[in-house]
Amino acid sequence: MKLKRLVSTLIPALLLLAACAPAARPPAASGLTSTELNLYAWSEYVPQQLLDDFTAKYGVKVNYDTYSSNEEMLAKLQAGASGYDLVIPSDYMVAVMLKLGLLDPLNMTQIPNFGNIDRQFADQYYDPGNKYTVPYMWGTTALAYHKTNAPFEPKSWADLWDPAFENKLVLLDDSREVPGMALQVLGFDKNSTSADELEQAKHKLVELKPNILLFNSDDPETALITGEAWAGLMWNGNAALGHAEDENIMYICPEEGCGLWFDNLSMPKGAPHPDAAMAFINFMLEPAESILITGEFPYSNPNAAALEYLKTSDPDAYAVYMGFSATNPPPEFISKTTALKDVGDATTLYDQLWTNFKGE
């Protein structure tokens, strides 16, 4: 998931902790033959400090190339782009890439820090046994609203269709999440492959158009902070940034359900520097390094050792992380989530729905 970096609104305690993290050791006797690592990942998703620390420890230069969607990354790899050592695909995209033979297995003997991962985030449906993936970040896609600006506090996705929200909604510019919301309002599966159900979802979204102010996948929380929008569909990291700026910004999983996602580090087929790739994954899983990610991009962290490090190093920052539903969703929130799945040939139907809906 991509999050626009807004340093001025980051949780201050986490930033302070990141700044005080132990310095990396000099690059003596790393055991690596590679001198560079080619990382292809979401833009503004990997802290520069993490990359600098890795280089300082191993003497490996990191080349960080970026993409703005899973589909953009897939298209580039399918077009023959080579030379990348690591990518960060989301859950459903891992399934697609495995089906297409675009990933190489990881050498888990070189990733002992995998033991730091909370067991509930390992062995997911898209990669049983974690042969091809290591969790990077996870989160939800749900409803954020400003409780003092909104005409009422929404409890369901259906509430967003209320005329009181005319021209006051911000939605992700996402061809799966937005139709998924409409499908759930209609009582259908968020991963429906039915042409009829998707057509109904399109018509339902057309009914919502008078209430939509803008589509924004970079920093949708900004519209809530400024008061231009009162509610919307966004990723949890955006909601966390918004709440850090304005505590009136709330984040809930609506009655119909909401989204769940997992982003992962994976190695593309034929990666030229596999030793550096394994070293980077293992390094990223060190508690102090993992907390750098949470400090800059407040999604949810699957690294149990990192959260324990945060708890002991800065109890106040830990309380902030644990106390908000965007970073630490409670069990009742999680019980209503649905992850996006690979919908196979129906992907074309979603693309057509999205193109037609935005073009009308």
Digitized pLDDT (tens) for each residue of the chain, 360 residues in all: 444 333 333 445 554 554 454 444 444 446 899 999 999 999 879 999 999 999 999 999 999 999 888 889 999 999 998 899 999 999 999 999 999 999 999 999 999 999 999 999 999 999 999 999 999 999 999 999 999 999 999 999 999 999 999 999 999 998 999 999 999 999 999 999 999 999 999 999 999 999 999 999 888 999 999 999 999 999 999 999 999 999 999 999 999 999 999 999 999 999 999 999 999 999 999 999 999 999 999 999 999 999 999 999 999 999 999 999 999 999 999 999 999 999 999 999 999 999 999 987
How many Å apart are CA 165 and CA 230, to the nearest integer? 7
Give the separation between CA 67 and CA 76, rounded to whole angstroms: 9
Q: What residue numbers bound the domain in which 300 lies? A: 7-138+261-322
| CB 18 within 8 Å of CB 10 | no
Q: Which token pair is 246?
A: 């304005």
Per the domain annotation, does 109 fall within a domain? yes
Are residues 256 and 156 in contact, defined by beta-carbon separation less than 8 angstroms? yes
Distances (CA, A) of 264 to 49, 84, 90, 139: 19, 15, 6, 12
- DSSP three-state, residue 64: strand
Task: Give the pLDDT confidence score for residue 16 in this predicted structure.
Answer: 53
Report the C-alpha gap between 118 and 115 in whole angstroms. 8
Would you list the DSSP string of 144-179? Answer: EEETTTSSS---SGGGGGSGGGTT-EEE---TTHHH
Domain for residue 19, yes or no?
A: yes
Which of helix, strand or coil describes residue 263? strand
Q: Is residue 34 part of a domain?
A: yes
- The pLDDT assigned to 2 comes to 40
**Structural domain includes residue 208:** yes
Same domain, 226 and 96: no
Q: Which two tokens stand for residue 20?
A: 């005080």
Between 70-78 and 91-99, two packed helices, what is the crossing angle to 10 degrees? Answer: 20
Question: Would you state the pLDDT for residue 81?
Answer: 87
Please indicate, yes or no, whether residues 133 and 143 belong to a single structural domain of this protein: no
**Rounded-to-integer distance, Cα 197 and Cα 359, Å:** 20
For residues 292 and 239, membership in a common domain is answered with no
Statement to judge: residues 174 and 228 lie in one domain: yes
Q: What is the largest CA-CA distance in the chain?
A: 65
Residues 254 and 278 in one domain: no
The verdict on 231 and 336 lying in the same domain is yes
The whole-number pLDDT of residue 82 equals 86
Q: How far is CA 56 from the centre of its chain?
A: 27
- The predicted pLDDT at position 33 comes to 95
* Separation of alpha carbons 60 and 23, rounded Å: 16
pLDDT confidence of residue 218: 82
Task: Give the C-alpha separation, 273 to 281, whole Å.
Answer: 13
d(CA 88, CA 133): 9
Residues 235, 96 share a domain: no
Q: Confirm whether 95 is domain-assigned.
A: yes
Residues 230 and 351 in one domain: yes
Tokens 């580039």: give the residue.
76
Q: How far is residue 123's CA from residue 109's CA, in Å, rounded to a whole number?
A: 17
CA–CA separation, 194 vs 331, rounded Å? Answer: 30
Chain centroid to CA 242: how far?
Answer: 16
- pLDDT at 24 (0 to 100): 43
Residues 128 and 265 in one domain: yes
In a domain, 343, yes or no: yes
Q: Same domain, yes or no, for 45 and 132?
A: yes
Q: Are residues 145 and 27 in the same domain?
A: no
Q: Is residue 2 part of a domain?
A: no
Is there a single domain that holds both residue 44 and residue 91? yes
What integer pLDDT is reported at residue 107 of this predicted model?
Answer: 97
CA–CA gap between residue 18 and residue 313 (Å, rounded) = 10
Look at phi and psi of residue 83 and say left if phi exceeds 0, alpha if psi is from -120 to 50, else beta: left
Assess contact for 135 and 88: CB atoms under 8 A: no
Q: Is 1 within a domain? A: no
CATH number of residue 194's parent domain: 3.40.190.10
Closest CA to 27 of 54, 56, 2, 61: 56
How far apart are alpha carbons 271 and 255 in whole angstroms? 44
Total of domains in the chain:
2
Q: Which residue has the tokens 């409409």?
A: 182
